[in-house]
Amino acid sequence: MTDKELLTKKLALIETYVVELKTLAQPDKIDDDIREERFVEHTLQLAIQATIDVASHVVSDERLGEPRTNQELFDLLARAQWIPNELSRPLRSAAGLRNILVHGYASVDKGIVRDVLANHLDDLLQFAAAIRRRL
């Protein structure tokens, strides 16, 4: 059974991190200010990780399938109608960005980080809202 209390806390974390990024981040400074770069990248990493944690919890507890990657979690949630189909793709991309931020598979493209800040933070909020509706 899905632990509603745990998920509610994780969803609140996602929302908090997104609000912090929207209100405190200064994307125009990440090229020249190491503190700004680290704040943005780390807070983004935390927001995406909390999203993955929620997705993993729901997929596991609801027995929606056996994902091979974190990215597949969002396909399973979409298939089970926990999230809208059109939200699956940007969340898959977010999971990929999280891997780069955490593991340094490639150097972080600051243009992509700025694009996420400008255009994709609401994807995380939409995810949180969709999961809340199902709890």
- Position 107 pLDDT exceeds 90: no
Label residues 21-35 b or e (16+ Cβ within 10 Å = b). Answer: beeebebeebeeeee
pLDDT of residue 104: 74
Q: Helices 85-103 and 121-134 meet at what angle, rounded to 10?
A: 120
pLDDT of residue 60: 96
- Position 105 pLDDT exceeds 70: no
- Position 2 pLDDT exceeds 80: no
Are the C-beta atoms of residues 52 and 59 closer than 8 Å to each other? no
Whether CATH 3.40.640.10 fits 4-134: no
pLDDT of residue 29: 96
